[in-house]
C-alpha cells in the first residue's frame, strides 16, 4: 500500500451512518481521515471572520462554500502527504459536482489516484429524518449515538466516556430538511458523475450496522 494507498470516498444523506462506518473502516484498514463536518466544526472555533461565519452557516443548516472547505481539505492532504499513510477516507465529500472534479485533481496531484473506491450508503428521506430526530452526539469523545430509537430517544450519557449527550444545532428538523433538499440539488449530481464513470458502489444503508460494514468490505476487496 506504500505507493498505492486505499482512498475511500464515502457519500450518503445525513443519518445514513457514514460516521459509524468511517470509524469501522479506519480501524480495519488503518486509514487516515478527512471529515468535512469535523474540519468545519474545528475551524469555527477560531473567532475570526471565517470562523464566525462558518458557525452561523452550519448551525442554521446551511452549506459552507467550496473555496472555504477546499482550502481545509488541501491543508489536510498536505499534512497527510508528509506521512507514509496506508490510506485515506473522505466522509461526506464531495458535496457538489465542482468538488468532485477538484478532489479528482487533488488526488492526482498527490499521486493517490490509483486505488479509489467511491461508496454510497443509500437510505430514503424518511429513514434519514427518523434517524436524525433521535440522534445525539458526545461533544467530548465525538461519539454519535444513532441507535436512539431502540432507547426511545432517552439516553442522556455517552456509553463510551460518560459525558452528557446533546443534539447538534444542525440536527433540528428544519436544518435536516434543508440538508435533504440540498442533497437532492447538489449531491445527487455527484452520485450520477461517479455512476456514469463506473466508479460508484451503492450499499443498502437500511440494514444493520454490521451488514452495511460487511457489504462495504466485500465491495472494497472485490469479494
Task: Say what the pLDDT of residue 31 is.
Answer: 95
Whole-angstrom CA distances from 12 to 50, 59, 179, 183, 191 are 27, 20, 11, 9, 9
Please report, to the nearest 10 degrees, the dihedral formed by the alpha carbons of residues 24, 29, 34, 38 taken in order.
Answer: 30
Task: Tell me: pLDDT of 152 over 50.
Answer: no
Order of all β-strands in the sheet with 32-35 = 32-35, 87-91, 6-11, 116-122, 200-204
Residue 111's H or E segment, with its range, is: none
Which residue in the block uniquely carries the three cell numbers 448551525? 59
Q: What is the Rg, in whole angstroms, of the alpha carbon atoms belonging to the chain?
A: 17
Task: Say what the pLDDT of residue 150 is.
Answer: 47
Q: What percent of the chain has pLDDT over 90?
A: 60
Tally Cβ neighbours within 10 Å of residue 92. Answer: 21
Q: What is the mean pLDDT of the chain?
A: 87
Task: Say what the pLDDT of residue 97 is.
Answer: 95
Task: Tell me: pLDDT of 85 over 60.
Answer: yes
Higher pLDDT, 118 or 18: 118
Whole-angstrom CA distances from 9 to 21, 45, 162, 202 are 12, 26, 32, 12
User: For residue 19, what pLDDT band results from cuts at 50, 70 and 90?
Assistant: confident
Q: What percent of the chain has pLDDT over 70?
A: 90
* pTM exceeding the 0.85 threshold for the entire prediction: no
Higher pLDDT, 106 or 223: 106
Higher pLDDT, 42 or 155: 42
Order of all β-strands in the sheet with 136-138 = 144-145, 136-138, 165-166
Omega of the bond leading into 60 within 30 degrees of 0 (cis): no
User: For residue 146, what pLDDT band results from cuts at 50, 70 and 90?
Assistant: low
For 120-129, what is each residue's pLDDT tens digit? 999 999 998 8
CA dist 150 and 43 (Å) reads 34
CA dist 215 and 166 (Å) reads 31
Task: Tell me: pLDDT of 15 over 90.
Answer: no
DSSP one-letter code for 120: E
Chain centroid to Cα 152, Å, comes to 25
User: For residue 179, what pLDDT band results from cuts at 50, 70 and 90?
Assistant: confident
What is the mean predicted confidence (pLDDT) over 34-51? 90
Task: Say what the pLDDT of residue 91 is.
Answer: 84
CA dist 205 and 211 (Å) reads 9
Task: Say what the pLDDT of residue 215 is.
Answer: 98
Task: Tell me: pLDDT of 197 over 90.
Answer: yes
Amino acid at each position: 500500500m506504500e505507493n498505492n494507498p486505499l482512498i475511500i470516498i464515502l457519500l450518503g444523506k445525513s443519518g445514513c451512518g457514514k460516521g459509524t462506518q468511517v470509524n469501522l473502516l479506519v480501524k480495519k484498514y488503518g486509514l487516515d481521515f478527512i471529515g468535512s463536518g469535523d474540519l468545519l466544526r474545528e475551524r469555527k472555533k477560531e473567532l475570526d471572520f471565517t470562523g464566525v461565519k462558518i458557525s452561523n452557516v452550519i448551525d442554521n443548516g446551511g452549506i459552507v462554500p467550496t473555496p472555504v472547505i477546499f482550502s481545509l481539505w488541501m491543508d489536510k492532504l498536505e499534512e497527510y502527504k508528509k506521512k507514509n499513510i496506508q490510506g485515506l477516507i473522505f466522509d461526506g465529500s464531495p458535496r457538489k459536482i465542482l468538488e468532485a472534479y477538484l478532489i479528482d485533481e487533488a488526488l492526482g496531484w498527490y499521486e493517490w489516484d490509483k486505488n479509489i473506491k467511491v461508496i454510497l450508503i443509500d437510505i430514503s428521506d424518511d429513514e434519514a429524518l427518523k434517524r436524525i430526530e433521535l440522534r445525539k452526539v458526545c461533544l467530548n469523545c465525538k461519539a454519535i449515538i444513532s441507535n436512539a430509537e431502540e432507547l426511545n430517544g432517552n439516553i442522556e450519557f455517552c456509553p463510551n466516556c460518560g459525558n452528557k449527550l446533546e443534539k447538534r444545532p444542525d440536527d433540528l428538523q428544519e436544518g435536516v430538511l434543508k440538508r435533504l433538499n440540498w442533497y437532492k440539488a447538489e449531491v445527487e449530481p455527484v452520485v450520477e458523475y461517479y455512476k456514469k464513470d463506473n466508479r460508484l458502489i451503492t450499499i443498502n444503508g437500511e440494514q444493520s450496522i454490521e451488514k452495511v460494514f460487511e457489504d462495504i468490505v466485500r465491495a472494497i476487496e472485490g469479494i
